[in-house]
Amino acid sequence: MAFDYDLFVIGGGSGGVRAARVAAQGGARVALAEESRYGGTCVIRGCVPKKLMVFASEFPDAIAEAQAYGWTVHAGGFDWTTFRTKLHAELDRLEGVYRGLLGKNGVETFDMRARIVDPHTVELADGQRKSARYILIATGGRPVKPDLPGAEHALVSDDLFLMEQLPKSILIVGGGYIACEFACILNGLGVQVTQFYRGAQVLRGFDDEARGLVSEEMIQAGINLHLGTNIAEMEKLADGYRVCGTNGQEAIFDQVLFATGRAPNTRDLGLEAAGVAVGRKGEIVVDDYSQTSAPSVYAIGDVTDRVNLTPVAIREGMAFVETVFGGNPTPVDHDLIPTAIFTQPEMGTVGLSEEEARKRGPVEVYATSFKPMRESFAGRSTRVLMKLIVCAETRRVLGCHIVAPGAGEMIQLAGIAVKMGATKEDFDRTVAVHPTMSEEIVTMKTPVRSA
């Protein structure tokens, strides 16, 4: 049977664009449909604008530090409108780059929604039908709010980049990556931030000591963090929200942000008709090669709810192309993925937390927490943490956890060593780079705990 295309990709985010581009470079006839903007969550409403906001939010501290180092500098106000205009110009530029990459490589694009009609056919929003030997679903995810009266008016992370003005006060609900990152960003930009997290400590699943320090530093920086607290009731007022917490306190906030998780974008994609199985959260079920229960349909990225990170989606896209068009079945390696949470200070982490490692066997824990030179000189009480979890039997470093300014940059490099299977002795053999914070990672001589 002759198909219109070898590959039809639904979704123009990081994963979809990469797969489309690489397949086309290899000679496949490729089309891609995107209903919103090219670049997807990462470029348009996630990692990229978030990181630019992180940079913007760090200046008050930098100015205070400059004063402590003898500079005569004074912070004026932060002009959100000026920043937002520049931010959106940058996102437009990046979207253009993504579009350009597809065009240059001969990928035909359709700026509209697409759904699957059968395992080899896609229907576009304008009614056109296109056939393809393979269909790749890369539709990502979206933020979800709890089913709570009043929540329908509140913000999700997508909305933050579009705000006309910064609120004076905000309540952030949630304790994951997004809640904690935006609590720090908005706090840095001068918004009064209150955060409710229903559990005992934010950043569930990460190393306890590391998340404990992040949480302490967030509180120290002025975030009004309430643990074990959720919204009991909320009411939209003409100008803000009245919120009753499960802690019995009532307060008025200009805005409320729900950072309560994300759901895969599988609604109305025609999956059932195509025989594509979905899981309990609506995620597309795939095997190690990203193949769905319909053999000609594959899925990558957040829509599969495996590890929801941009670089992982990109790898899944590359592995898909290698498997299907390169004739070289390539599973995606989801083990030992380094990641960073851009709180202030940042947390960088790779491998097992102390708690997880202990469950698996005897470990030695090496950790040091100290005031870094730069902040200490400026009279600040900020602390950082460097921590290694070592297998007592093999001596392999099973986990590395860093809470420090720049931890995201550090963990990328530590991640190589951990991925290579480095032992504690390999770390010890490496000469320290002096004077740095990260030198502590190779100079910890005695375990603080063994278990």
Q: What is the binding site for ligand NDP (CB under 6 A)? A: 146, 173-179, 181, 197-199, 204, 230, 259-262, 308-309, 339-342
CB 298 within 8 A of CB 15: no
Q: Which positions are catalytic?
A: 434
CB of 68 to ligand NDP, least distance (A): 29
Residue with Cβ nearer ligand NDP (40 or 294): 40
Q: Is 309 or 391 the residue whose CB approaches ligand NDP more closely?
A: 309
Which residue's CB is nearer to ligand NDP, number 31 or number 53? 53
Question: Can you tell me which residue has the tokens 């008025």?
Answer: 252
Closer to ligand NDP by Cβ: residue 146 or 295: 146
CA angle, 40 then 46 then 49, to 5°: 110
- DSSP 3-state of 394: coil
In 190-249, which residue ranges form alpha helices assigned H by DSSP? 208-220
Q: How far is the CB of 420 from ligand NDP (least distance, A)?
A: 22
**Nearest of 169, 175, 182, 188 to residue 241 by alpha carbon:** 169
Q: From the CB of 263, what's the least distance to ligand NDP, in Å?
A: 10
Considering the complex, state which of residue 182 and residue 366 has its C-beta at the smaller distance from ligand NDP: 182
Task: Please tell me the distance from the alpha carbon of residue 283 to that of residue 15, in angstroms, as a whole number.
Answer: 16
Residue number of the CB atom closest to ligand NDP: 176
Smallest gap from Cβ 46 to ligand NDP, in A, equals: 7
Q: What gap in Å lies between CA 128 and CA 112, rounded to an integer?
A: 11
Shortest spacing between CB 37 and ligand NDP, in angstroms: 18
Between CA 25 and CA 260 the distance in angstroms is: 39
CA distances from residue 368 to 360, 387, 401 in whole angstroms, order as listed: 23, 6, 11
Alpha helices in 26-71 (DSSP H): 40-45, 47-57, 59-68
